[in-house]
Structure formats: structure tokens, C-alpha cells
């Protein structure tokens, strides 16, 4: 077996995520092909509850996946999930739509709700089989019949003509995950190639007809996406095939699928005389086109895509790729990947996150379009910066990393304006200027909301309070200005002496970079800067001026500045980090870590004053 452990971005695994899982009633016995027996009362005693994860609407107690290859080349995937949930949990955990693969099966082995107090079953949940627009599926809907409940779901899929055991899946989910178990049964004569981050080493043991590889991961925190790294989510990809040839054939076949003629509404957009507006109008139309309900795998593609919606997310991109050419645009299809591929590593189909298109027409610069991710017209969205994309080329794949452009374009500025009275109380406001890549980081929909501004304030200034609903925002070039009126802060006052604390931004996602090591990629190069202008009380003197700092490191610059304007009786100070690359190696990482540590320490500085 070739075991490879490398760092990589764990992109969404859309097909696998919607095909999760499985379980059934406590104390049952197990036959081959059934879900494993579960002891729900024991899990209630041993697994974490909401008191351990305040603010979470759910805790995944168990996620168990097992893979096998049968004699006809089909792969069997059995998955089991147990979730402690409360009313209001996201629909993706209560609504499961599992498409039946052509020539294969998707069978719900068991589905039920349990009471987290007694461990008794509240109600079995019966799956429903149906068909929508030619797609056969099995659906399981878990009702929220009380404030807190346990979801138990067991699923078995048979995926035909795979001729390999392979998949790609998250180690972190959007909910806290207590125990995850992945079992891969490798037939004799085959080797398993693995790429992972955060999964650890598997336990290997002989089994009937081959070898069994088992990973067990305990207490994985919820994945929030609040990181500046582009490759920081833990994942596991494996396959009994090495290299990209099989994946290249699969993606190449996607690109050559026959697509229908555009419907009348689309044709009228395409026929506009202004081809630039025609393409922009088509992108907007596809973003609003009808899709399937949440829980249905976005990666499902029908052999004959219908001319009318609803369409899956992948189908929308394939249609846009072909239809926009009719408007005179150039379009090239690429595939966003969970991690880098090469000829020695696994390249399972599920490691492809989604298709994106590279578009161009006379009068604009080429750009990548990532449907549904929100971006400015004719610009590559932040969702792709720093990510790995691949293009099918014959029997291979050509890869590249999407550049996040220059640091100066991605500038985050925090500007305080404060007044200090003779009693040592500082009051004022903070203006946060968010530009380009930072817009996507703070405001995923592209526009600030009360919720996203509240998160921005909580992340930048932990422990500092702002009156609820007091934040406001205005548009600026390439972004937004958010204004936060701060509650007064008290200085330390003793006699005629005063010690004024610096206002400082200490976001955890920046602090994480001060503890990072090794090689990794950033979402984009950036500038972060913070400054304040403090109006001093009358008849006050600065006892000791803070020192200035200038550090020029490998692809990183850090500086601190200070200026006392005696005529205006103000003191201005600031700190700035400039990271000029999105590819961080050991040397750059050390410089960035030092700069971040200095930045975080800046917030603990004080200004000594003497007030007459």
C-alpha cells in the first residue's frame, strides 16, 4: 500500500455529503449487510451534549462509513449516523434525498427518532421513494417532534461499475463530531493510496479476501470556515487506483454530454445585440434558475439534462458552459478539487467539489465564474482564490492554483477615532474598511447584514461590547465601510497619572497564523492595518512615547508607527502587516508568525499620561 499524508484543501464532497448515513434501533443484532447495532442509552451517557457545545443546534455522536468492492466491480458504501439535534437544526441534517445511481441501489436500512432523556425510540421514520424530472430517489424526512431529539439513520448504496474502492470525505463537519469511523475493505492484490489531513494513521488488519483499513477520529470540532488558509479543513481521500486517468475520463465525459437547446427565456437573453450584456444576463439567469431542495446532492448529473429546470448545481454550470458560447463568449470548463492530484496519489470522483467556467469576451479580462457563490460581475470570486482547479485533457488533468492577485487589493483597515476625558473614559467609534477578498470572508453574500456585522465585531474585538443594532455600513470602492460606535472604555487613573489602553483588533483567525508552521496556502495575499487617533484631555502630557517598529521579512512586512501632534493635542498610532504572497513556505511562515505575534501584542500596549 502507498500511504501519503499531505496537506490539501478539503473541498466540499457534494456527492458523498448528501449520501450520509445510517443507524437503527438500540440492542439489535447484526446480519451481513445490516447497519451496526447501536446502544443509544450508552451513547447518551458517554457522548457530549449541548452543554459541551453551547450555541450549536446539533452534535454528531457517530459517523460510521464502510466500503467494499463486490465481484461485479460495484462498490458498496454503508453509512451510519447518530445526531443529537434540537429544534431549528439545519435542514441538511433532517432532510435526506438520496438519488438512486443508474444500475445501482440506494437503500435505507433504518431511520428513527429517539428521546435523549430516556434513550427510548420516539418514532420510526419511513423512507419514501419517488422520482423528479427523471431522477429516482429515496427520501427520509425527520420531523422535530420535540425540542431535543436523536436522529438515527442507516443507508447502504451500491455504486455500479466502479472497479475501485474510493471516496473523499470530511473529517470536520458543520456540527461538532464526537466519533468518526471509516473502514475500507481492500481486496487481495490491490493497494490503497491515501491523501489525508487530520485523519491520522489507519489500523491495518488481515480480513477475508484482503486487508481492512480503519480510521477512527474522536472529538473533531465543527468546521466554521473562519480561517485565512485555503487548505485548512481536515479530510480523507482514498482509492485503490493511483493517478488521474480514470478521473480525467469521467470529467471529459461530463464536458461532452449532450445538452438541450436553451429555453425561450434564455434564447431571448442570448439574442441581445450587446454580447457583453447577453453573457452577463445569462449568468444572472442561471444563478436564479430553479434548483433542487437542500439535501439533494448538487453533483448529480443526468445523462440527458432536461431543457427546463429544476437542475442540480453541476447541471447549471454545464448548461452555462455550452449556452454562453451561443452569445459569442469563450468558455472553458474547469473542476475545483479538494486537494492536489498527481500520478502517485488517489483522485476519486468525490474529491471534485464542483465545476467552474473560465469566461472571456472582447472588452473584458478573462475571469472565473463560480455559480451560486456571489461575486462582482466579470470578476473571479473570492471563493476560488488560492484553490486548486483542474482541466480534463485527454487521459490526464492539467492543474493550476487560482491567484488572489496582489496584497494591496485585499486591504482590511480598522480606524479608531476616540476622545479621552479627564476621568480616563475613552469614547468614540471604529470604522472598518473591508475590500475585495475580505468582503467574501466577512460577508459571504457580498453585502453586510446585521448578523455578519455582529460576527465581524465579535471576531475583531473579542470581549469588547458594541450596542446591539448600532452598526451601520456604506459602500466604498471595492468593498464596504462598517461603522461601530463603541461603548466607553475606562483607563487606569491614579492621582494625576493615567494609563490608557490601546484599542486593538485581535481576531482568532489572525492569531492562528501566529501558531502555524510548515507549508500552506492562503486565500489571498493581504494587508491588515489598524490605527487610532486619540484626542487627549486638556493640560495632559505624554510620559513615554511608544516605540516605532519596522520589520522587513521574507515576503512579509510589519510596522508600528506613532505620532504626537502637540498643536492639536492628539496622539495617532498604528500597526500594519503586509503579506505579499499566497504560497507560504517555512521561511515566509516564520516571518508571518512573528508579525502576527507582534500584532496581537499591540493590543496589550498602554499609553502613560500625566494630567495636570
Percent of the chain with pLDDT over 90: 76
Residue 1 lies in a domain: no
Q: Looking at residue 374, what is its pLDDT?
A: 67
Q: What is the mean pLDDT of the chain?
A: 90
Strand order in the sheet with 549-553: 472-476, 479-490, 425-435, 411-420, 526-535, 570-579, 556-565, 549-553
The confidence band for 13, taking pLDDT boundaries of 50, 70 and 90, is very low
Q: Looking at residue 375, what is its pLDDT?
A: 66
Residue 7 lies in a domain: no
Residue 395 lies in a domain: yes
CATH number, residue 590: 2.60.120.1130
Instruction: Retrieve residue 366's grid coordinates.
Output: 478573462
CATH number, residue 143: 2.60.40.3140
Same domain, residue pair 72 and 172: yes
Same domain, residue pair 102 and 147: yes
Closest CA to 441 of 222, 175, 225: 225
End-to-end CA separation in angstroms for the chain: 77
> Is the pLDDT reported for residue 18 higher than 90?
no
pLDDT in tens, 366-377: 999 999 876 677
**Residue 194: its H or E element:** strand 193-197
Q: What secondary structure, in 3-state letters, does 471-537 show?
A: CEEEEECCEEEEEEEEEEEECEEECCEEEEECCCCCCHHHHHHHHCCCCEEECCCEEEEEEEEEECC
Note the pTM of the prediction, 2 decimals.
0.85
Residue 610, C-beta contacts closer than 8 angstroms, at least 6 positions apart: 496, 497, 498, 540, 541, 543
Residue 432 lies in a domain: yes
Give the mean pLDDT of 60-67: 98
> Is the pLDDT reported for residue 221 higher than 70?
yes
In angstroms, how far is CA 49 from the centroid of its own chain?
24
Radius of gyration of the chain (CA): 27
Residue after which a domain boundary falls, among 354, 377, 401: 401
Same domain, residue pair 363 and 434: no
207/68 Cα distance (integer angstroms): 12
34: left (phi over 0), alpha (psi -120 to 50) or beta: beta
Residue 5 lies in a domain: no
Same domain, residue pair 489 and 381: no
CATH number, residue 384: 3.10.620
Same domain, residue pair 521 and 597: yes
Same domain, residue pair 418 and 382: no
- Spell out the alpha helix ranges (H) of 183-335: 245-255, 264-270, 275-288, 313-323
pLDDT in tens, 553-602: 999 999 999 999 999 999 999 999 999 999 999 999 999 999 999 999 99
Same domain, residue pair 394 and 415: no
Same domain, residue pair 463 and 383: no
Please report where in the chains the cell 455522536 appears, as a residue: 61
Residue 493 lies in a domain: yes
Same domain, residue pair 384 and 447: no
pLDDT in tens, 516-536: 888 898 999 999 999 999 999
Same domain, residue pair 551 and 466: yes
Q: What are the strands, taking DSSP E only, across 279-382?
A: 330-337, 352-360, 367-369
Residue 309, C-beta contacts closer than 8 angstroms, at least 6 positions apart: 289, 290, 291
57: containing domain:
14-241
The confidence band for 452, taking pLDDT boundaries of 50, 70 and 90, is very high
Same domain, residue pair 170 and 237: yes
In angstroms, how far is CA 421 from the centroid of its own chain?
45
Number of domains in the chain: 3
- The Cβ of residue 365 has, within 10 Å, a number of other Cβ atoms equal to 8
> Is the pLDDT reported for residue 438 higher than 90?
yes
Q: Looking at residue 131, what is its pLDDT?
A: 87
94/109 Cα distance (integer angstroms): 16
> Is the pLDDT reported for residue 324 higher than 70?
yes
Residue 4 lies in a domain: no
Give the mean pLDDT of 154-182: 96
Residue 9 lies in a domain: no
Q: Looking at residue 19, what is its pLDDT?
A: 31
304/298 Cα distance (integer angstroms): 16
> Is the pLDDT reported for residue 474 higher than 90?
yes
pLDDT in tens, 85-130: 999 999 999 999 999 988 999 999 999 999 999 999 999 999 999 8
10 Å CB burial of residue 41 (0-12, 13-18, 19+) is: middle
Same domain, residue pair 260 and 183: no
360/328 Cα distance (integer angstroms): 9
Amino acid at each position: 500500500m502507498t500511504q501519503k499524508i499531505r496537506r490539501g484543501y478539503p473541498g466540499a464532497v457534494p456527492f458523498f455529503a448528501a449520501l450520509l448515513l445510517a443507524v437503527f434501533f438500540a440492542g439489535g443484532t447484526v446480519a451481513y449487510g445490516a447497519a451496526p447495532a447501536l446502544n443509544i442509552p450508552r451513547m447518551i451517557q458517554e457522548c457530549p451534549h449541548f452543554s459541551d457545545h453551547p450555541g450549536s443546534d446539533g452534535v454528531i455522536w457517530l459517523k460510521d462509513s464502510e466500503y467494499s468492492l463486490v465481484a461485479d466491480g460495484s462498490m458498496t458504501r454503508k453509512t451510519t449516523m447518530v445526531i443529537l439535534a434540537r429544534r431549528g437544526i439545519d435542514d441538511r441534517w433532517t432532510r435526506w434525498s438520496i438519488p438512486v445511481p443508474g444500475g445501482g441501489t440506494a437503500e435505507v436500512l433504518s431511520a428513527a427518532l429517539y428521546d435523549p432523556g430516556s434513550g427510548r425510540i420516539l418514532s420510526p421514520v419511513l423512507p419514501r421513494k419517488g422520482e423528479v424530472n427523471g431522477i429516482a430517489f429515496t427520501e427520509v424526512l425527520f420531523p422535530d417532534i420535540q425540542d431535543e431529539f436523536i436522529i438515527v439513520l442507516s443507508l447502504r448504496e451500491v455504486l455500479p461499475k466502479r472497479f475501485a474502492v474510493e471516496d473523499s470525505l470530511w473529517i470536520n463537519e458543520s456540527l461538532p463530531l464526537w466519533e468518526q469511523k471509516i473502514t475500507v475493505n481492500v481486496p487481495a492484490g490491490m493497494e490503497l493510496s491515501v491523501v489525508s489531513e487530520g485523519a491520522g494513521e489507519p489500523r491495518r488488519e488481515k480480513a477475508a479476501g484482503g486487508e481492512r483499513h480503519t480510521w477512527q477520529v474522536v472529538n473533531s470540532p465543527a468546521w466554521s470556515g473562519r480561517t485565512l488558509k485555503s487548505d485548512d479543513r481536515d479530510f480523507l481521500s482514498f482509492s485503490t487506483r493511483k493517478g488521474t486517468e480514470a478521473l480525467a475520463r469521467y470529467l471529459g465525459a461530463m464536458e461532452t454530454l449532450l445538452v438541450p437547446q436553451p429555453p425561450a427565456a434564455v434564447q431571448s437573453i442570448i439574442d441581445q445585440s450587446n454580447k457583453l450584456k447577453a453573457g452577463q444576463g445569462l449568468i444572472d439567469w442561471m444563478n436564479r434558475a430553479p434548483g433542487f431542495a437542500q439535501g439533494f446532492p448538487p453533483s448529480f448529473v443526468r445523462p440527458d439534462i432536461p431543457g427546463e429546470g429544476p437542475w442540480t448545481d453541476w447541471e447549471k454550470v454545464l448548461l452555462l458552459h455550452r449556452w454562453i458560447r451561443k452569445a459569442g463568449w469563450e468558455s472553458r470548463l474547469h473542476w475545483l478539487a479538494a486537494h492536489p492530484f498527481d500520478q502517485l496519489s488517489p483522485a476519486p470522483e468525490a474529491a471534485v467539489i464542483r465545476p467552474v467556467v473560465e469566461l472571456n469576451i472582447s472588452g473584458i479580462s478573462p475571469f472565473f465564474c463560480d455559480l451560486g457563490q456571489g461575486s462582482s460581475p466579470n470578476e473571479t470570486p473570492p471563493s476560488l482564490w488560492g484553490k486548486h482547479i483542474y482541466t480534463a485533457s485527454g487521459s490526464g488533468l492539467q492543474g493550476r492554483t487560482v491567484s488572489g492577485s496582489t496584497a494591496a487589493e485585499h486591504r482590511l483597515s480598522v480606524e479608531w477615532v476616540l476622545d479621552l476625558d479627564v476621568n480616563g473614559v475613552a469614547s468614540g467609534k471604529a470604522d472598518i474598511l473591508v475590500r475585495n477578498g475580505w468582503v467574501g470572508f466577512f460577508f459571504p453574500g457580498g453585502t453586510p447584514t446585521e448578523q455578519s456585522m455582529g460576527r465581524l465585531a465579535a471576531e475583531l474585538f473579542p470581549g469588547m461590547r458594541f450596542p446591539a443594532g448600532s452598526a451601520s455600513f456604506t459602500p466604498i470602492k471595492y468593498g464596504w465601510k462598517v461603522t461601530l460606535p463603541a461603548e466607553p472604555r475606562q483607563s487606569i487613573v491614579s492621582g494625576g497619572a493615567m494609563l490608557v489602553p490601546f484599542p486593538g483588533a485581535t481576531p482568532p483567525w489572525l492569531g492562528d497564523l501566529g501558531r502555524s508552521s510548515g507549508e500552506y496556502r492562503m486565500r489571498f495575499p493581504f494587508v491588515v492595518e489598524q490605527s487610532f487617533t486619540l484626542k487627549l484631555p486638556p493640560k495632559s502630557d505624554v510620559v513615554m512615547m511608544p516605540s516605532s517598529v519596522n520589520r522587513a521579512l521574507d515576503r512579509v512586512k510589519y510596522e508600528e508607527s506613532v505620532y504626537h501632534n502637540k498643536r492639536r493635542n492628539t496622539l495617532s498610532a498604528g500597526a500594519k502587516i503586509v503579506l505579499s504572497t499566497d504560497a507560504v513556505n517555512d521561511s515566509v511562515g516564520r516571518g508571518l508568525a512573528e508579525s502576527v505575534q507582534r500584532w496581537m501584542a499591540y493590543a496589550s500596549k498602554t499609553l502613560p499620561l500625566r494630567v495636570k
